[in-house]
Structure 1
Amino acid sequence: MGGEAVQTDITTEHIERLITAAGSHGVTGAIKELGVARTGSIVIDELVFRCEPPRNRHAVPVRIDLVHGTEKAVHVLRLADGEPVTSSEEAPEDACVRLEFDLAELVTLVYGVPRERSAGVHRSELLLAAWPRLTAAYGISDHELMGSVQRAVDSVLGGLSHRRPSLNELAVRYGSDKWSVIHWFTPHYDRHLRDLRNEPVRVLEIGIGGYAEADSGGESLQMWKRYFPRGLVLGVDIVEKHGLDAARLRTVRGDQSDRAFLASIAEQHGPFDVIIDDGSHVNEHVLATFDALFPHLRSGGFYVVEDLWTAYCPGFGGDDENLDNPGTSLGLLKGIIDRIHHEERDGADPDHVARNTVGLHVYHNIAFIQKGVNAEGRIPAWIPRSSDEINPR
């Protein structure tokens, strides 16, 4: 699968600048502002991440030339079956194939609204001078090397394809437990989030996984980064996870039961389009997190609560006897049904949730709370409030 290219002075703000420019025909100005070298590093890093899993048995160096006017940035991608794709800016003498892109066109292709890829996006050239060295090193024929080159190039260009891998496929690719064996969440996620997929969204997921291992976990964060090609992904965990940080993906250490911490996250990184609570699953924490973060969800976005089964587990603060206990995650959701219908209840005093929740979708162990303006108006007074008024006896 795709790896990560080395970056130096690149920030999230630089990436956001390109995402915004690619969606508004302002790419040339963004390249002028950021410079060809930095822009090239950003877009190559994204291409490396999106490359389809290599299927070439023998490692193939692919030279990428990014041209902008009279300037050029050169990178070399190395692809081999079962290994992460890597990128470098070192001398490309050993590259056996060259792909040339107009830099502005590639930025638009990578960060703009996806479109059908037509002919003429790139130029290609076999760099035959490197072939004898590679065939001798691998002990293979030119024909066998050609097969590896074809597969390597296909992996690179597959990262630019308009075809978007399904969320099920991405969950398996990156090892997320949101699909298969334990949970079956990804079809529900795709049903509700697919309209946001091509937007420059901000995604917050609480709970990174990997437990106490500093560089472990983050499988779902990688999945979301690939699912939302123009999105920024933020992961929060009680354990330090900065080793997982990459372009368009950041991690923050903190306790989800700490409201002051959550407020700081919202101030620094919000507002969000998608918020996912896959954290401690302690019911008290679920309620506190929702109360703190729902106001920082954009209209049209979704707040997602996973692992609702803990609402029945006393060990997680759940209750398996009083199913209407408002102190559980399911109690919260049941109460939201009434809050959605606040206009139909005399004397109701709507809070932020009541005024801004337009939908609640509950499935086995996962719920989606849809944010929007909940002000359709009350059923008119002239409509009977009693069945006796409709069918008098």
Structure 2
Amino acid sequence: MKIQQLVKQPLRFAQSKYYQHQLPNAELGGKAWLIGSELKYGGIQTGVPRIKVSPHDKRSKVQLQKGGMIGGDRMLHHGYASMYAKYLKNYLGRDNLLLVEIGILKGNGLAMWCDLFKSARIMGFDIDLSHTLNNMDNLKALGAFKSKQPELNEFDQYADNQAYLASLLDGQKINICIDDGCHTDEAILQTLHSVLPHLADDAVYIIEDNRYAHIKIAEQFPMFEIAHKGQLTVLTFKKAN
């Protein structure tokens, strides 16, 4: 494994430099833009300490403390950029858009979404907002949030949050929802249950870093079309016949 990592490091470095160089002229919302923007706001970050967890989280203390959390890894490291570009392009330039990201860690994703959807309402949710709040000055120094500030709210993915979301959304429906939180089946399914009543008819729901949750989603949420590739799952509502 260590040899593989040593081989990959020069390649990742070269890719990072390439996409950062491409960013100023990249097509807005395209693969190169998404990767370049993620790198602009910090790129992959590892070992982020897990300070606060849900009382309903069944993982052991050893599991929760092991390795720390990872962020800024969706577009380049995991290779999700092509799928994101495909599904987000239909929302570019739209008015009255609401994007919700659950699991925001240091806020890198929120910075990217605020750049991509300048007129949208952007909401970030996490059980522990301290990592984002402590990184806000750094993100702003890198050019983030010039046109808008995201709304930040605490969120326990293992709890039923339907009423809580209703109080925050005030009737507005969610067009884009991204679950980059706990990544366990239980958290993913409970979060989807909480968000479902608040999704717009044309919503896209993106779930990261879980290879098999789509199987249970297909069983429990038959209203969705499911696109699945590796550890990424994308949900859209089935169209009526």
Same fold per TM (> 0.5)? yes
TM-score w.r.t. the length of structure 1 is: 0.40
Assess if the C-alpha contact under 8 Å between 1:178 and 1:185 holds in 2.
yes
2:37 aligns with one of 155, 165, 170:
170
Matches within 5 A, 1:178-193: 178-181=74-77, 183-193=78-88
Shift of 1:272: 0.7
2:240 corresponding residue in structure 1: 375
Shift of 1:285: 1.2
1:306 aligns with one of 205, 208, 232:
208
Assess if the C-alpha contact under 8 Å between 2:207 and 2:233 holds in 1.
yes
TM-score w.r.t. the length of structure 2 is: 0.63
Write the distance in 1 (CA, Å) between the matches of 2:165 and 2:114: 19
> Which amino acid counterpart does residue 363 of structure 1 have in structure 2?
K
Assess if the C-alpha contact under 8 Å between 1:208 and 1:235 holds in 2.
yes
Shift of 1:225: 1.1
Q: Secondary structure at the match of 1:255?
A: coil
Larger Rg: 1
| Change beyond 3 A, Cα 1:223–1:162 | closer
Shift of 1:191: 0.3
Assess if the C-alpha contact under 8 Å between 2:165 and 2:195 holds in 1.
no
| Change beyond 3 A, Cα 1:162–1:283 | closer
1:335 aligns with one of 206, 219, 238:
219
Matches within 5 A, 1:113-192: 164=28, 166-174=33-41, 175=43, 176-181=72-77, 183-192=78-87
Write the distance in 1 (CA, Å) between the matches of 2:88 and 2:220: 21
> Which amino acid counterpart does residue 199 of structure 2 have in structure 1?
L
> Which amino acid counterpart does residue 369 of structure 1 have in structure 2?
L
Any stretches of 5+ residues in structure 2 without a counterpart? 1-23, 44-71, 138-144
Write the distance in 1 (CA, Å) between the matches of 2:231 and 2:128: 25
Write the distance in 1 (CA, Å) between the matches of 2:182 and 2:73: 15
**Cα shift readout 1:337-370 (whole Å, capped 9, x = no counterpart):** 8x3xxxxxxxxxxxxxx2xx3x321111011111
The RMSD of aligned alpha carbons is: 2.5
1:256 corresponding residue in structure 2: 157
Query: How many residues get paired?
Result: 171
Give aligned-pair identity as a percent.
Answer: 23
2:103 corresponding residue in structure 1: 207
Looking at both structures, which has the greater relative contact order when contacts are Cα pairs under 8 Å and sequence separation is at least 6? 2
Q: Secondary structure at the match of 1:184?
A: coil
2:120 corresponding residue in structure 1: 231
- 4+ residue stretches of structure 1 with deviation over 4 A? none
